[in-house]
Amino acid sequence: MSHYFSSDQSTLSEPFTIDISFFGKSYPFVSDAGVFSKRQFDYGSRVMLEAVIDQLSGRVLDLGCGYGPVGVLIGLHRPVALTMVDVNPRAVELAKANALAHGVAADVIVSDGLDKVSGVFDHILLNPPIRAGKAVIYRLFEQAYEHLADGAQLIIVIRKKQGADSAKRKLQAIYDRVETIDRSGGYHVIVATRSALSDRDMADHEIGQDDHKAGVDDR
């Protein structure tokens, strides 16, 4: 059986329509076999989106977009420059169709992680593909860092029992600031920030001052 986090298209296509309720309004989406959470809007994705949507601006990347609910709902509610990517070509075609149906302008592309993505973003949203394994997830964390503008954020949602604590530790090893901003039903919404260059320079300067002071004290 084909897994949704795959470019394999062997699963028989059987498209159908689902309705997603968001902020009191219902939105139709076309879904299909072989894509993530095909029958309903994933609860974790909903928790993440509701926690951050009011803060989203500028250039936004929906990483692992599936059939497009997160990205399309962002585009409907926020004035952003939207990019949506997925490794699954079927998911990308669905996301394109759903964005078009709702009048949302988006650059929607097939990409394994961020391999085919250029430029930098102000916000990257990710519901990690847990079944793909930690190596894949951690690679996405690392790639995302390289595609964030200074001061920009990676936003993820992950269940505690599926490794929220270890994911947060990994993010802390890569990013300049990491915090859990919301919890619901066992899901944690974690924001990892790439600090502005001036902030990093200040931190390096302070470290340098500490090293110099230590050298003076040692004498």
Examine residue 4 and state whether it is found in any structural domain, yes or no.
no
Looking at per-residue confidence, does 39 or 201 come out higher? 39
- What residues contact residue 177 under an 8 Å CB cut-off, 6+ apart? 192, 193, 195
- Give the bridge partners for 110, in sequence order: 86
Query: Could you tell me the CA-to-CA distances from 144 to 28, 90, 94, 191, 198 in Å, in that order?
Result: 30, 23, 23, 12, 20
Query: Could you tell me the CA-to-CA distances from 48 to 38, 43, 107 in Å, in that order?
Result: 18, 9, 22
Asked if residue 129 lies in contact with residue 136, where contact means CB atoms within 8 angstroms, the answer is yes
DSSP 12: P
pLDDT tens per residue across span 158-202? 999 999 999 999 999 999 999 999 999 999 999 999 997 645 555
Examine residue 159 and state whether it is found in any structural domain, yes or no.
yes
Examine residue 7 and state whether it is found in any structural domain, yes or no.
no
Question: How confident is the prediction for the chain on average, in pLDDT?
Answer: 91
- Give the bridge partners for 28, in sequence order: 19
Q: Token digits for 116?
A: 């085919």
Examine residue 1 and state whether it is found in any structural domain, yes or no.
no
Where do the H-state alpha helices sit in 82-163?
A: 89-101, 134-146
Examine residue 8 and state whether it is found in any structural domain, yes or no.
no
Range of the domain at 45: 16-218
Examine residue 58 and state whether it is found in any structural domain, yes or no.
yes
CATH number where 197 lies? 3.40.50.150
Q: List the 80-86 sheet strands across, edge first.
A: 106-110, 80-86, 58-63, 121-126, 148-159, 187-193, 177-184
pLDDT at site 218 = 46
* Of 111, 163, 162, 170, the residue nearest 139 (C-alpha): 170
Q: Which of 128-137, 149-158, 191-200 holds the top average pLDDT? A: 149-158
Examine residue 9 and state whether it is found in any structural domain, yes or no.
no
Query: Could you tell me the CA-to-CA distances from 125 to 28, 48, 62, 98, 102 in Å, in that order?
Result: 22, 8, 5, 18, 20
pLDDT at site 213 = 47
Query: Could you tell me the CA-to-CA distances from 90 to 55, 136, 177, 184 in Å, in that order?
Result: 30, 20, 35, 30
DSSP string, 35-64: STTTTS--HHHHHHHHHHGGG--EEEEEET
Rounded Cα distance between 183 and 181, Å, is 7
* Number of domains comprising the chain: 1
pTM: 0.87
Examine residue 194 and state whether it is found in any structural domain, yes or no.
yes
